[in-house]
Amino acid sequence: MRARETLLLLALGVGATRAHAAGPDRAPHFLENLKSRFLSALGGPREVIDPQPVPDDPGAPAVTLSRIADPRALEHELRDLVQAPYANVRLRTPDGYAQVGNFSIGSSESIHSNVLVIRGRADVYGRVSGNVISLDGTIMIHRGAVVEGDAIAFGGDVTNLGGTVGGRTLALSDEPALAAPPARPIASALTNAAGVIGTFLTLALIGFGLVLFGKSNLEVVSDTVSHSFLRSFLVGLLSQVLIVPTFGMLVVGLVLSVVGVLLVPFVVAVYALLVIAGLLGGFLAVTHAMGETHTRRQMARGMATSPNSFRYLAIGLGAVGSVWLAWVVFGWVPIAGSLIFGAAALATWLVATVGLGAFVLSRAGVQPSFAGRYLPAEMLTDEYLWATPQQGVPAVKRPAKTS
């Protein structure tokens, strides 16, 4: 017994704190409702209310139960008017019927108005042409019942056991849900900036690893982008369209064969890795080509720069990231933020599409036919595709002497 009383006192203390925060008008309701719930949960006595209709007192305040535009406003109005003891509640409902305690509508009954049940359970077996509202109670809509309006429970639950509700079904707690505060522009910008920086740092690490372990393939795909840009875009666009159908045909072909069924998991994993490698590797190859073009132009102007693939990737990723940087700064603006986000997403998709097409054309950098490398590899330096041949200029035979 002492444990139950201690738990109840603790709960009432917490409830008093929350009631004080909610305001003096709703404090009695908080404490009373919390006490009744804990007494019921712990097996203690609960106030028993005899079902009785609320007298239609002409001098009592009127409450409108139809056309509930704001359920919370109606709840606050009822909380102010309905106080304990509930048997002495005086309320006027011109467009409905109000009752304290349990209320039931038989399967052969029809009520052509709204129904308000206070501190009780509303069992609906028949038809209600209006709204069914409960205050600190529950609404049970049984099989075959019809509620043409809304079923709203303030401080309770709405249980539909197979009936029909033509309007809204709402079960609102005693406390209104606190609306999430709108994100501040600075906080939103910092969050977006963290996401963009993390993404491009990851891409930079993958690109640097690709330069270390697959530089030749990366350069072939990058050269394919530079020399066959339009063809790469068209092939990439077609490849995106055929990714799913090709995967489906591949799986169906394996399933139709006896041995192929065992290879389906392996083929699915390999196909997914190939698609990811094509998109990611092609994207990095396009950024490599962008950085290389920029560096070559600087060198043509006489600027001293170090031409290497690491620099190319850093410049290219920085160029793509600058588009997303604009979204980070102005993303909180209602219309401009959406437009900038769309532009950044479109630019990223174009880069990925061209890269995928170059990846497919060059066979992942193995076939340099579309890369503009028509001279033998030994005739080219490591960095300059158009450099002077390492073996020098071939000598020409001296013309024969004439008499």
Q: Give the pair of three-digit tokens for residue 222.
A: 């990058």
Q: Are residues 368 and 264 in the same domain?
A: yes
| pLDDT tens digits, 180-202 | 455 577 888 888 889 999 999 99
Q: Are residues 280 and 348 in the same domain?
A: yes
Q: Are residues 70 and 217 in the same domain?
A: no
Domain range enclosing 96: 49-172
pLDDT at 81: 83
Q: Are residues 136 and 164 in the same domain?
A: yes
pLDDT at 5: 52
With respect to residue 402, please indicate whether it lies within any of the assigned structural domains.
Answer: no
Q: Any idea which residue has 């990846």 for tokens?
A: 359
Q: Are residues 143 and 213 in the same domain?
A: no
With respect to residue 387, please indicate whether it lies within any of the assigned structural domains.
Answer: no
Q: Are 151 and 165 in contact (CB under 8 A)?
A: yes
Q: Give the pair of three-digit tokens for residue 73.
A: 């406003």
Pairwise CA distance, residues 8 & 17, whole Å: 14
With respect to residue 104, please indicate whether it lies within any of the assigned structural domains.
Answer: yes
Q: Are residues 71 and 115 in the same domain?
A: yes
Q: From the CB of residue 35, how many other CB atoms can be counted at a distance below 10 Å?
A: 17
Pairwise CA distance, residues 124 & 115, whole Å: 11
With respect to residue 391, please indicate whether it lies within any of the assigned structural domains.
Answer: no
Which residues, listed in sequence order, are joined to residue 116 by a DSSP beta bridge? 98, 133
With respect to residue 183, please indicate whether it lies within any of the assigned structural domains.
Answer: no
pLDDT at 208: 93
Q: Is 123 helix (H, G, I), strand (E, B) or coil?
A: strand
Pairwise CA distance, residues 14 & 345, whole Å: 49
Q: Are residues 265 and 326 in the same domain?
A: yes
How many structural domains compose the chain? 3
pLDDT at 128: 93
Closest CA to 49 of 84, 82, 3, 8: 84
Residues of the chain with pLDDT under 50: 1-2, 7-8, 19-20, 22, 25-27, 29, 31, 36, 38-46, 175-180, 375, 377, 379-388, 390
pLDDT at 201: 94
Q: Are residues 249 and 208 in the same domain?
A: yes
Q: Any idea which residue has 């108005």 for tokens?
A: 113
pLDDT at 342: 93
Which residues, listed in sequence order, are joined to residue 117 by a DSSP beta bridge? 99, 134
With respect to residue 277, please indicate whether it lies within any of the assigned structural domains.
Answer: yes
With respect to residue 178, please indicate whether it lies within any of the assigned structural domains.
Answer: no
Q: Are residues 270 and 356 in the same domain?
A: yes
pLDDT at 68: 87
Q: Are residues 261 and 328 in the same domain?
A: yes
Q: Are residues 156 and 55 in the same domain?
A: yes
Of the CA atoms within 13 Å of residue 211, those in its CB half-sphere come to: 17
State the pTM of this model.
0.51
Q: Are residues 270 and 329 in the same domain?
A: yes
Q: Is 110 helix (H, G, I), strand (E, B) or coil?
A: strand
Pairwise CA distance, residues 168 & 68, whole Å: 10
